[in-house]
Amino acid sequence: MSWATSLGRFRRVRPSAATRAGVGRPRGRRRRNLLLYLLAFVIMLLVAAGSLVRFTGPQQPSVVADVIARAKAPRAAPPSGLTIPVAGVRADALADSWGQAREGGARAHQGIDIMAPRGVPVVAASAGTVERLFTSGAGGTTVYVRSPDRRWTYYYAHLAAYAPGLAEGAAVRAGQQLGYVGDTGNAGPGNYHLHFGMSRMRLGDGWWEGEAVNPFPLLVGGARRS
């Protein structure tokens, strides 16, 4: 209610119905705008969530299927007719050092050590593809050869050097030279030998993976001398 003057006298003026209806409109408009902003934000979240499901959803069944396929894959049978991987070494000269304690019992030896003078040729125990030429503090100069069916990996460590022309991706035959006996890595100075290991591989395993298998009985039983 307001006051106005008319002909020099004061009189009371009542607000019209339209004026009364407009009271409080700015606050109501702000509330509606806030609700609209919240609704738009919720819609954006739903759209983003839908996109995430669309892009990531199909990958999960693929990962699960890969795990199931690995579990169901039959175990590879041990290879036969391996070549002794150090030139001139006979089967009866091999010693089974599989499982022996290393580093004060911190780990077990997963392979066998074939003693030989420095520079004696190291040859492929079986045919395959050179999957990795790798140097590490433990193995020194090493070669990983994958079998043609990709079920086995053969590991040659402590090499003095690689054979000329050896490269990753190269196909090798059994008995082909890979390198030379040495003492690189943790072999110890002057402790010349080849560490030979082999691993049973599963579907999708990388060159550094696999289940280590004792090569000694496979080399002694029917191995070919190089």
Neighbours of 182 (CB within 10 A): 23
What is the residue extent of each domain of the chain? 2-56, 91-220
Contacts by 187-192 with C-beta closer than 8 Å and gap 24+? 187/140, 187/158, 192/115, 192/116, 192/117, 192/118, 192/158
197-207: per-residue pLDDT in tens?
A: 999 999 899 99
Task: List, for residues 80-121, the tens digit of each pLDDT value.
Answer: 789 999 999 999 999 998 988 877 778 888 899 999 999 999
Q: What is the CATH number of domain 91-220?
A: 2.70.70.10
| 33-89 residue pLDDT tens | 777 778 888 787 777 666 544 444 444 555 555 555 555 556 667 777 899 999 999
* Run of H or E residues at 68: helix 59-72
DSSP labels, 6-64: ETTEEEEEPPPHHHHHHTTHHHHHHHHHHHHHHHHHHHHHHHHHHHHHHHHTTHHHHHH
Question: Is the pTM value of this prediction over 0.75?
Answer: no
